[in-house]
Structure 1
């Protein structure tokens, strides 16, 4: 690999990791600079429906409303595969996302495992995420905590 390829790979993996970190720590303002103005989201493996393209403020707002009703989340990423093609890139990473909400209606955790697929573009300010696909491979625990979090959040 060339020095530029190594720098791009590091920057892209760091960007994807920061997305998970800022989400878990409710650092909403820090998420803004990680994305393009619009983001193509594909959560069909979780919610059904069709992929959507939304302004980043709407995506961050939705994540915020989903997260703030929970006591905690932890998104772990690993096994990044990065492909750079000029000013665009694609990355796949395995994820495990645990959601915590103690409640009287079942277990306190809901954990998802699978793959994230990121689409990225190189901008004057560095790499930015332009697309995110969640492909769930397994789930465990109490999915209903998501609904409870939205009621209380």
Structure 2
């Protein structure tokens, strides 16, 4: 598998892990000191995502238009995303759809490619941000 194909596969695995709320797999996609979602460190990134999505209904991250540039043991990928979030609990019946682009930086490690940073440039959104909420205790 080429480095490009491997990174595209890692992107798909991360999207599926987020949708499944598989926080261990999400954490493993990032370097321990990564920066993403305005958070520093893999644990903070996972905590932030779980606070936003833990009480949200189903989500689906659709990715495409992958552009990957590899430079030795580092890489950058730009990926279009369309993400649907369904409401749950008090937000049942509501939804939020975000469209934009992920700007990801990667580092090759002995375990494979890991994210060192992620920025999502949300260009379009439709719906209600109230769907984001932590899981019920």
Q: Using the TM superposition, give the Cα deviation of residue 33 of structure 1 relative to its aligned residue in structure 2, in angstroms.
A: 2.1
**TM, length-normalised to structure 1:** 0.81
1:100-119 aligned within 5 A = 100-102=86-88, 107-119=93-105
Distance 2:136 2:115 in 1: 30
1:90-129 aligned within 5 A = 90-102=76-88, 107-129=93-115
User: How many residue pairs were aligned?
Assistant: 137
Q: Using the TM superposition, give the Cα deviation of residue 131 of structure 1 relative to its aligned residue in structure 2, in angstroms.
A: 0.5
The structure with the larger Rg is: 1
The one-character-per-residue Cα deviations of 1:61-105 (angstroms, maximum 9, x if unpaired) are 211121111111111110100000011100000001111114667
Kindly tell me: are residues 83 and 107 of structure 1, through their superposed partners in 2, closer, same or farther at Cα, counting changes over 3 Å? same
Match of 2:68 among 54, 72, 82: 82
The residue aligned with 1:16 is 11
Extract unaligned runs of 5+ from structure 1. 1-5, 44-50
Give the root-mean-square deviation of aligned CA atoms: 2.0
**Which aligned segments of 4 or more residues in structure 1 are displaced greater than 3 angstroms?**
102-107, 150-153
